[in-house]
Amino acid sequence: MRLSELSEQSGVSTATIKYYLRERLLPPGRRISATQAEYDEGHLRRLRLVRALIQIGRLPVATAREVLAHVDDESLGRTIRLGAALWALPHGPDPDEDAPETATARAEVTRLLSELGWETALELGDLSPVHRSLVASVATLGRLGYPCDIAYLTRQARIMEQAAVHDLDEMETYASEAEQVENAIASAVLYEPLLMSLRRLAQGEESARRYGL
Amino acid sequence: MRLSELSEQSGVSTATIKYYLRERLLPPGRRISATQAEYDEGHLRRLRLVRALIQIGRLPVATAREVLAHVDDESLGRTIRLGAALWALPHGPDPDEDAPETATARAEVTRLLSELGWETALELGDLSPVHRSLVASVATLGRLGYPCDIAYLTRQARIMEQAAVHDLDEMETYASEAEQVENAIASAVLYEPLLMSLRRLAQGEESARRYGL
């Protein structure tokens, strides 16, 4: 399809599409003349993802470009490809290494992951920004005087394991590995707020069940 | 205890405590002389919650005051008291009523809640900011061209139901209803980022299990 048709089908203005092309968030179309290029379904899909990252995830253009570079890197194994793209998304703050609570928090996170048997997370450790932001969150709990309850976290983590099985089943409904990774990134950006809403609604239901309205 | 001791035990400076007192985020101490007041464990607990709301939740002072007013309102039933405090926390954006996707999204959320049998959420509907932000999220999915998969959301919601049982069990380990509500609010603010970290780590584990590293 031509640029105008890509714009029509995606609902994104041609000016915005040209901007994404210039910023290399969207790969160039196939040249068919000096002034025209041809775009395909892959461009339409990528455009959808770029909008999710920029408009909903509010990622800076440079960050979005980094995420997409990992999505497109076919030299990586699937777990690393997916992981690298997820790692490039914005995260919570890194732990404050000068704070006395950080060392304790790091030990607690290691204990939690050992208890769970999450070998990959243990192996990657602080290399992963997700791990670092988990350590920072636990350290914050400590600093504010809220004890970190490992048994509670273990139960919640077991529940997240079930959710991850559904997430990956969902991912596997897409045909190609590229589409699977694209979709996993979109769902990290788009579904997290939605899951937190469902969590709060579920708490309301359970509260009404236990104590009435 | 005196103000200086409250400061020492909480790790919050006396200047900050005085500010919280002035802003009515912390109830006044019991007057024991013209210049001195006595504070108790309740003040210490409340101070911890105020810090969680302001420093971690980044709530504006007026919003924090509103949340705390609901926490303290003993005239409310427990579900409403908890719900009102949670509703006063910051949420995702409200749906755009002019967007064509919003009506569809609202119908889809109603279908999801009916399928789940979440009567309280259905009854409260758009009165709840959580419900409104769920509608807005689903509308955004539609606008970006990502189909909202009700079957997937139903599975995720069932998992959140299990998490809510643990959350309320945890809440019930606190003796008084006031402490229970305080704790539920703190955990909404403090644990949500932590649960999202656990979710991403769980996805990594499941991916490594399925596809290797």
Give the three-state DSSP class for A31: strand
B15 pLDDT tier (thresholds 50, 70, 90): very high
CB-based contact, A9 to chain B, within 8 Å: no
Of the residues B71, B87, B103, the one at which a domain ends = B87
Inter-chain CB proximity A200 and B86 less than 8 Å: yes
For residues B119 and B66, state if they share a domain: no
Q: What is the pLDDT of residue B104?
A: 94
**The pair of three-digit structure tokens given for residue A78, joined into one six-digit string:** 């699937």
For residues A128 and A174, state if they share a domain: yes
B213 pLDDT tier (thresholds 50, 70, 90): confident
| Shortest alpha-carbon distance between residue B4 and chain A (Å) | 18
**The pair of three-digit structure tokens given for residue A61, joined into one six-digit string:** 């253009």
- Cα of first residue to Cα of last residue in chain B, in angstroms, is 56
Q: How far apart are CA B187 and CA B132, in angstroms?
A: 22
In order, the DSSP letters of A91-102 are: -SPPP-TTSHHH
For residues A141 and A181, state if they share a domain: yes
Chosen from A172, A205, A209 to mutate, greatest number of chain B CBs within 10 A: A205
**Which residues does chain B have within 8 Å of residue A201's beta carbon, measured at their own beta carbons?**
113, 118, 121, 128, 130-131, 134, 157, 160
Q: How far apart are CA B81 and CA B87, in angstroms?
A: 10
For residues B103 and B206, state if they share a domain: yes
For residues A171 and A110, state if they share a domain: yes
Q: Long-range contacts for A20-24 (Cβ within 8 Å, ≥24 apart)?
A: A20/A47, A20/A50, A23/A61, A23/A65, A24/A65
Q: How far apart are CA A160 and CA B50, in angstroms?
A: 29
Whichever domain contains A41, its CATH number is 1.10.1660.10
Of the residues B70, B87, B104, the one at which a domain ends = B87
Of the residues A42, A66, A87, the one at which a domain ends = A87
Spatial neighbors of A39 by CB under 8 A, at least 6 apart, are: A1, A2, A3, A5, A6, A29, A30
Inter-chain CB proximity A48 and B137 less than 8 Å: no
**Which residues does chain A have within 8 Å of residue B92's beta carbon, measured at their own beta carbons?**
193, 197
For residues A99 and A193, state if they share a domain: yes
Q: What is the pLDDT of residues A163-179, one digit of tens each?
A: 999 999 988 998 888 88
Q: Which of residues 185-204 of A touch B (CB under 8 A)?
A: 186, 188, 190-204
Residue A65 scores a pLDDT above 90 = yes
Looking at residue A27, the DSSP 8-state letter turns out to be P
Mean pLDDT along residues A49-72: 91
| Tally of domains in chain A | 2
Nearest by CB to residue B198, choosing from A86, A156, A211, is A156
Q: How far apart are CA B165 and CA B177, in angstroms?
A: 17
Chosen from B79, B155, B198 to mutate, greatest number of chain A CBs within 10 A: B198
Q: Which of residues 107-166 of B touch A (CB under 8 A)?
A: 113, 118-121, 124, 128, 130-131, 133-134, 137-138, 140-141, 143-146, 149, 152-153, 155-157, 159-166
Residue of B nearest to A93 (CA): B193
For residues B146 and B79, state if they share a domain: no
**ipTM of the prediction:** 0.88
Nearest by CB to residue A160, choosing from B152, B193, B198, is B198
pTM above 0.90, yes or no: no
For residues B192 and B118, state if they share a domain: yes
For residues B12 and B108, state if they share a domain: no
Domain limits at B24?
3-87
Burial class, A122, CB count within 10 angstroms (exposed 0-12 / middle 13-18 / buried 19+):
middle
Inter-chain CB proximity B204 and A134 less than 8 Å: no
**The pair of three-digit structure tokens given for residue B62, joined into one six-digit string:** 């007026």
Q: What is the pLDDT of residue A51?
A: 92
For residues A102 and A182, state if they share a domain: yes
Q: What is the pLDDT of residue A14?
A: 96
Q: What is the pLDDT of residue A154?
A: 94
Q: What is the pLDDT of residues A109-148, one digit of tens each?
A: 999 999 999 999 999 999 999 999 999 999 998 888 887 8
Nearest by CB to residue A206, choosing from B11, B168, B193, is B168
Q: What is the pLDDT of residues B96-123, one digit of tens each?
A: 999 999 999 999 999 999 999 999 999 9
Residue A35 scores a pLDDT above 90 = no
Task: For chain A, give the percent of residues with pLDDT over 90.
Answer: 64
Backbone φ/ψ region at B11: left (φ over 0), alpha (ψ -120 to 50), beta: left
For residues B8 and B77, state if they share a domain: yes
Q: How far apart are CA A50 and CA A57, in angstroms?
A: 10
Task: For chain B, give the percent of residues with pLDDT over 90.
Answer: 65
Neighbours of B130 (CB within 10 A): 23
Which has more confidence, A78 or A105?
A: A105
For residues B197 and B132, state if they share a domain: yes
For residues B5, B9, B10, B16, the Cα torsion angle rounded to the nearest 10 degrees is 20
Residue B158 scores a pLDDT above 80 = yes
